Structure 1
Amino acid sequence: MTLDWLKNIDPDTLAKFAALEVKRDDDWFLKESIEIIMVMPDSTQVYKFWRANLDCLNEDLLTILEQWAKKNLTSSRSKKACALAKELIFFSDYVQEFPLGSIAINKELAIKGYQLALTVLTFKKFPQDWARIQNGLGIAYQNRIRGERADNLETAITCYQEALKVCTFEAFPQQWAMTKMNLGTAYGERIRGERTDNLENAITCFQEALKVYTFTAFPEAWASNQMNLGNAYRKRIRGERADNLENAITYYQEALKVRTFDAFPQDWAMTQINLGNVYSDRIRGERADNLETAIVCYQEALKVYTFDALPQNWAMTQGNLAVALGSRASLTNNAQDLDQAIELYGQALTVSAPGSYYFISQQYRLGHTLARRYETSKNPDDLQKSIAAYQIALDYLSPEHYNRQQYWQAIPATQAILGSRLVRDGNWQEGLKLLINSLNQLKTGDNSLVYANALYQTGYAYELLSDQENARLYYRDALRLYEHLQDLAGIATSRESLGNVFVSQGHLEKGMSELAQARDIYQQLGKTEAAEKVDNTYQSVQQVWEQVKSEVLE
């Protein structure tokens, strides 16, 4: 039979027929996913299916999932409903780990799936499944993107604690240890409560997990727990800071007994980065040696974290390496280290997603490093680029990437630095406005050092504007706060500036007193050039003072 009849249909209508697709039920994607999981209960096949239908993992699926559950998860007495609820656990497990599409939606789908499964798999009838869901929910809430970070972490902690009602050490030791580890990581990230207590709780959880996760029985889990302990001790507040950092180094080095380059290259690389971070912070040993070790660790990690294979990890490591090089430059005054650090930040920013945590941090650090180079180069281009980097960081700051407390501290801190750079660039009024605004916010915050720095920079701005009286007041306030914090570098800088202002106001004796104290502190800190500079000023003022006294006597 021919299709001559098609010739009688106008082209527009024919085009509409051609565009028609076979209509599928709204829940076809979900049903297909569940069926694949039932046949192949691992992530391989379902991930392949999801990659081919990525557009179906969307916001609408949350509603479809709920509608599907109303039809299929009818009662805990139904064998079919119970079986489907158990498959829904697998669905939730897999979707929250799925790396493609919208990660935020994937986490919401996992949470919804777990919650719907709980309507059938109750604590009384299915305690083990119920506990497994609680653990999965805890992980999903801990990694959740939507909602308040603090609320999500509280929910995660509650879920893990609920799971431990079933997963006891005696009945299910492996599940107990796994849940303890999860609970420990949640306490380590917790925002509410006392930070000190949260970290102690985290350490306790990790140490308890080692009762089961021994090196011999579970080497991989043991190594992961060593990493967790290293992270917790690096952040620990109780105890001596130096001791805590030494413990962190030991735990990371222990983890490397299992996490070798050949067996677990990515885990090995991440451990190298953590080692680099703690050596960058290390108090014991020579500062120069610690920084060299940190730099080597970051360079080692880059053997795995390459631009082509793992661009995001590569960018993160480039940023860490840049920080270490910047710190080394502070010790050696090696301009090449600053140049390389600036280049590394630039490379990392080509990969870091605009608005992400790393993007903001790298812009901020780039601005700081460019400003440091400007101090010696006096190249106005460096200052302009520094201001631009700080402005970008400020524009992108949002609670999405920082918890609320960090966010409200980060904004005025960045405003203060940007304001000081604008003042140095000659934009005095705009810079001073930012500085004053930052002071109003920092005054009620808990970052006293940032507040002290902002006070000092405000004094400097007034000094440039030839408002010596306001400059003196802000320098004095900064000095008081630096003394309270026992920050010798801040004390020396404030006394030097305060001394210069006193001299300019004609208070020569007061100025000499401040300058002499600044000189002595610089010498104590080993800052020879700064001490000599202040001493030269002191000698000049002393000559004038002697001349004034002699004229009075005559």
Structure 2
Amino acid sequence: MGPAEIPPQALAFMTAFRARWEAIGEDTAQLNEFLKDHLDDLNKELLTALPLIFRIWTTAKSLHQLNQVVAVFGDFGNTVWKFPLGDRALNLELSISTYKAILQIYPRAVFPQDWAITQNNLASSYLYRIRGDRAENIERAISSYKAALEIKNKDDFPGDWAQIQNNLGSAYLYRIAGTRAENIEQAISAYEATLKIKKRKSFPEEWAQIQNNLGNAYVDRIQGKRADNIEQAILSYEAALEIRVREIFPMQWAMTQVNLGTAYDSRLYGVQEENQEKALLAYESALQVYSQEAFPWEWANLQNNLGAAYKTRIRGRREENISRAVIAYEAALQVYSPESFPEQWANTQGNLISALLERSEFTGKIIDLDKAISDLGIAGKIASQGTESYANVYYTLGAIFEYRYRLHQDSSALLQASAAYKEAATATPWADRKLTYRAKAGDSLYQLGVALTQDGQWYEGLAQLEASLDTYRQAENRLGRADALQQIARTHYLMGNFDKARMYFRDALRLYQAEANPPGEAACRAGLGRLLLRLNFVDDAIAELNQACDQYRTLGDDTHLANVQDTYELAQKLAQKLAQET
């Protein structure tokens, strides 16, 4: 694209922005109003044209003129980065393009201070970037923050150093690469280092911002006791709110209210019902500032949080709470579109379908499951692979297939559920969730195996049980493995494969003992006792059945005790008869 090929509207817009900037300077409020009045000009054409406009305006210019153009573009990048209206994803791309252009003419060796400031700004745009690979964007952010810190060191620029450290802490908090627990610890260290410079008395606004960020880190913290971490997060948010009062800092107040709500929603100490009500109060308070018109992205995120809070609410009528959750999720989807917010759209779509399914189970009304599955399939195609949103879609899809099985006893639904859970396990970036999702896949295969064997399809059932055993191994779920082994043993028993049945019962028993699972151990000993009795190992059978009876007595399980007791008494009579015959 040459100078003559620059879209006239894009050039006219930037020319008008420059004129407005020259008239008012760095007045953020007025620059925001300018963007609001020219919302349609923030488009793909402008994104393509920005680098060329910058090049034309900076070619063969004096240092003064050059600095003026850089200032115009820098303020445009800063303003559009924070601009709450329009296409949020596009706004971030515009800011990235602007900062990259500035770095081309502000080399580190010649303009180290300006270079460092621009690196910091570029990093922040990458940190919140919607397009592209999320993990890669965060790594770029970390790299740029670290580059800025090479210039803005603690000794020479303590204030700037502290602000960039704060930003770097947020990048580590959201980081996907590396070990999650270690990343969060680095975030906490960065925030705490910043607080040594940004004292409350001297820098109250910055201090409150860091307290808010520190609260975010403690909410997500893996190391330490979970309950204590949440308490620390609440203390940090409440400290931030001592400065961030609504009348003076409405946007910051609303942000921290949302975070405080999230902390109360996760709180382990106190009464759960009261914690939930405090979370809802915080969310609804934030809505006083975050309106759909003024802050569409924040409003949608808040609606998503409200949906989650109502979905798990204890107080009030369950059906009414679920209906409120549905309304909140549907509201969020008014802002989240597949084009502008693909991951958020997919995640919220999954949450909505989950709420609809729960409402259907609660009310007894059957919704169109195939439509729900179809919607999730679309969501899965739109969400980026390898993201938590993508994993959430497939996890929910697995739950829907399980629900369809419960309604219609369609065994193929369990196979589809297992496949969906496995896809979720592959997609999620978090190691602990990989294990959880694989375990759910194993559960579906286990259910299918049990259903098939109960239907007399022994070979087909055995194949699914063995598949579940392999899946449980991948999930490192020893209790699931024990259940699968015991069911395989029972199936071999029914098929007359007594040696294999005995081997699998023994393997299952060892795992139940290792997991200290008395119900599983009792059931396994009862099954093994019946098998040994069938093989005429009467004394061994009596020993296993006796232990099973003792365990059922301890558990207070009278139903199973009565069944095993009958077999035990039969074995005793047989032993007496054999003794008399000899």
The TM-score bracket by the shorter chain reads 0.7 to 0.9
Q: Report what 1:190 is aligned to.
A: 175
Q: Report what 1:28 is aligned to.
A: 12
Distance 1:369 1:505, change over 3 A: farther
Contact 1:288 1:328 in 2 (8 A): yes
Q: Report what 1:348 is aligned to.
A: 329
Contact 2:442 2:468 in 1 (8 A): yes
Distance 1:199 1:454, change over 3 A: same
Question: Partner amino acid for 2:447?
Answer: Y
Alignment pair present for 1:38 and 2:22: yes
Question: Partner amino acid for 1:277?
Answer: T
Q: Report what 1:14 is aligned to.
A: none
Query: Residue 250 of structure 1: which of 213, 235, 247 is its match?
Result: 235
Q: Report what 2:407 is aligned to.
A: 425
Q: Report what 1:56 is aligned to.
A: 41
Contact 1:364 1:393 in 2 (8 A): yes
Question: Partner amino acid for 1:114?
Answer: Y
State the 1:142 CA deviation.
1.8
Query: Residue 459 of structure 1: which of 446, 457, 461 is its match?
Result: 446
State the 1:192 CA deviation.
2.0
Alignment pair present for 1:364 and 2:386: no
> 1:273-352, aligned counterparts within 5 Å?
273-305=258-290, 313-329=298-314, 336-352=317-333
- CA distance in 2 between counterparts of 1:106 and 1:171 reads 33
Question: Partner amino acid for 1:413?
Answer: Y
Contact 2:390 2:424 in 1 (8 A): no
RMSD between aligned alpha carbons? Answer: 4.3
State the 1:194 CA deviation.
2.5
Distance 1:158 1:123, change over 3 A: same
SS of 2:401's equivalent in the other structure is: helix
- CA distance in 2 between counterparts of 1:204 and 1:360 reads 33
SS of 1:164's equivalent in the other structure is: helix
> 1:87-98, aligned counterparts within 5 Å?
87-98=72-83
Q: How many residues align?
A: 512
Q: Report what 1:538 is aligned to.
A: 560
Query: Residue 205 of structure 1: which of 182, 190, 201 is its match?
Result: 190
Q: 1:331-386 deviations in whole A, cap 9, x for unaligned?
A: xxx88235412432234313422444444334433444455566665x251xx356
- CA distance in 2 between counterparts of 1:438 and 1:313 reads 31
- CA distance in 2 between counterparts of 1:351 and 1:440 reads 28
State the 1:436 CA deviation.
4.4
Question: Partner amino acid for 2:107?
Answer: T
- CA distance in 2 between counterparts of 1:33 and 1:148 reads 31
> 1:60-459, aligned counterparts within 5 Å?
60-74=45-59, 78-305=63-290, 313-329=298-314, 336-352=317-333, 353-355=336-338, 356=341, 357-372=343-358, 379-381=364-366, 384=367, 388-389=371-372, 391-398=374-381, 400=383, 404-406=386-388, 409-410=391-392, 412-426=394-408, 428-438=410-420, 441=423, 446=431, 447-459=434-446
Q: TM-score, normalised by structure 1?
A: 0.77
State the 1:229 CA deviation.
0.5
SS of 1:425's equivalent in the other structure is: helix
- CA distance in 2 between counterparts of 1:259 and 1:424 reads 50
Contact 2:122 2:141 in 1 (8 A): yes
- CA distance in 2 between counterparts of 1:492 and 1:137 reads 52
State the 1:536 CA deviation.
6.6
- CA distance in 1 between counterparts of 2:478 and 2:140 reads 40
- CA distance in 2 between counterparts of 1:134 and 1:373 reads 49
Q: TM-score, normalised by structure 2?
A: 0.73
Contact 2:462 2:488 in 1 (8 A): no
Contact 2:84 2:296 in 1 (8 A): no
Contact 1:279 1:294 in 2 (8 A): yes
Unaligned runs of 5+ in 2: 1-6, 524-552, 578-582
State the 1:188 CA deviation.
1.4
Distance 1:257 1:320, change over 3 A: same
Q: 1:254-294 deviations in whole A, cap 9, x for unaligned?
A: 11211234433443333233223223323344545544443
Contact 2:219 2:230 in 1 (8 A): yes
Contact 2:310 2:324 in 1 (8 A): no
- CA distance in 2 between counterparts of 1:183 and 1:160 reads 6
- CA distance in 1 between counterparts of 2:353 and 2:487 reads 24
Contact 1:363 1:389 in 2 (8 A): no
- CA distance in 1 between counterparts of 2:387 and 2:8 reads 47
- CA distance in 2 between counterparts of 1:191 and 1:174 reads 28
Question: Partner amino acid for 1:469?
Answer: L
Contact 1:387 1:418 in 2 (8 A): no
SS of 2:151's equivalent in the other structure is: coil
Contact 2:391 2:425 in 1 (8 A): no
Distance 1:29 1:441, change over 3 A: closer
- CA distance in 1 between counterparts of 2:560 and 2:283 reads 45
Q: Report what 2:519 is aligned to.
A: 517
Contact 2:237 2:259 in 1 (8 A): yes
My pick for the range that moved more, 429-438 or 209-218, is 429-438
Distance 1:449 1:393, change over 3 A: same
State the 1:442 CA deviation.
6.1
